[in-house]
Structure 1
Amino acid sequence: MTSSETRRIADLGALRAIAHPLRMRLYRALFVARTATASQLADQVDEAVSLVSYHLRKLAEHGLVEAAEPQSEDGRERWWQPSSYGFSIHDEDLRDAPELAAASAAFGRTIDAQRRDIYARFLDERHTWSEEWRAASVSSEWLPRLTAAELASLGDELDALLRKYDRLARAAEAAGDTEGRENVAVHLHGFPYRTAG
């Protein structure tokens, strides 16, 4: 059963495993589906089942995904699920560890590229969504002047709020309330920057 805790990744092998672009796409698809077979995931990412199976096994070697209870009568199908309720990478785990820092940067670039792709696809397909969904979608940028402690607090509050909505949605789905539900991506970045000049 998927742990309700967020896994903290602090080892190089796991960080390199999840930094692989296809593995991150598979992890994301599995997180959304809750459970899936390699064949189902292969359809979503448009890759060969054998390749998807290989990458799922690599994710499992590092404890990022795990075998799930079968969801069908076909005993030949192997079902997978995330091993935890997401994962996190903390700066303090990267200090004095240049290889971990480099792997974390590679992971960050992979995630950023995939997030941009998801949002660009929404922009390209926006007209295919209902008026209600178009009106509900959010795109904003805030540029406050904060201290590091304030930014950390803001991140904690936003994380708690999003976790609350996700858990409410999962509970509603488990109770059979699936009407009108769609996958929703919420991407947040909060980081210091310097203006040019």
Structure 2
Amino acid sequence: MSSSENRRVTDLGTLKAISHPLRMRLYRALFVARTATASQLADQVDEAVSLVSYHLRKLAEHGLIEEAEAQSADGRERWWQPSSYGLSIHGEDMRGAPELQAAGDAFGRMLDEQRTELHRRFLDERLTWSEEWRSASLSAEWLPRLTAAELSALGEELQQLLMKYDQQARAAEAAGETEGRENVAVHLFGFPYRS
């Protein structure tokens, strides 16, 4: 990963590239794996290697992923990695650009569907996890009355807290402390609504 910062997506081409459901699944799988080949990712998403290679090249064309240093002696393998720590899309970057706004809305809906599917799969497979993991999993809903500024501040604090835990986990993994670690999805939504 060449950048430790989030990549802020502001152009229509990049937004459309990451909005493809398979590309988002590949991006997520690559983010979790840190580095991987098309073959490895194809196994994870249950798709043909040729199709996965095509979509990885499309992600690379938009700078969302990049080639990584080879992890094996097989020179025919092409290794990939995310080009940044993550992605961010901000509403203010889409103001006055209806096509960009529509693409951003479509991206948000696709992400919501994939996140819901991840959580549904956990619920379906819950009993296959140890009691420790079942007890550690969380599902919560809070309904505070906030100002827009307070919601923004809350989001920043939560992001910093999650980043702290992610960086600690990455450092522990780099030091070889992998026992007991699993991929964990934390999905947060904070938005105004009317009853």
Number of residues paired by the alignment? 195
Question: Does structure 1 residue 151 correspond to structure 2 residue 162?
Answer: no
**1:13 CA displacement:** 0.4
Q: Which residue of 1 aligns with 2:117?
A: 117
Matches within 5 A, 1:1-197: 1-195=1-195
Q: Which runs of 5+ in 2 are unaligned?
A: none
> Is the partner of 1:80 in helix, strand or coil?
strand
SS in structure 1 of the partner of residue 192 of structure 2: coil
Return the offset for 1:3.
1.0
Q: One-letter code of the match for 1:188?
A: L
Instruction: Determine the C-alpha separation between the residues in 2 that align with 1:20 and 1:110.
Output: 8
* Unaligned 5+ runs, structure 1: none
- For residues 132 and 89 of structure 1, what CA distance do their matches in structure 2 show? 35
Runs of 4+ more than 3 Å apart: none
Percent identical among aligned pairs is 79
Distance 2:36 2:110 in 1: 23
Cα distance in 2 for residues equivalent to 1:91 and 1:113 = 20
d(CA) in 2 for partners of 1:18, 1:66: 14
Q: Secondary structure at the match of 2:80?
A: strand
Task: Show CA shifts across 1:88-147 (max 9, x none).
Answer: 001110000111101100100110000010000000000000000000001000011100
Q: Distance in 1 between the 2:13 and 2:163 partners?
A: 27
Q: When the two structures are superposed, what TM-score results if normalisation uses the length of structure 2?
A: 0.99
CA distance in 2 between partners of 1:88 and 1:139 (Å)? 24
Q: Distance in 2 between matches of 1:94 and 1:165?
A: 31
Deviation at residue 2 of structure 1 after TM alignment: 2.8
SS across alignment from 1:7: strand
CA distance, structure 2, for counterparts of residue 124 and residue 92 of structure 1 = 38
Letter in 2 for 1:111: L
Cα distance in 1 between the residues matched to 2:2 and 2:59: 14
User: Secondary structure of the equivalent of 2:105?
Assistant: helix
Amino acid at match of 1:182: E
TM-score of the superposition, structure 1-length normalised?
0.98
Say what the alpha-carbon RMSD is for the aligned residues: 0.5
The one-letter code of the counterpart of 1:138 is L
Q: In structure 2, give the amino acid aligned to 1:33.
A: A
Q: Distance in 2 between matches of 1:123 and 1:111?
A: 18
2:98 aligned partner, one-letter code: P
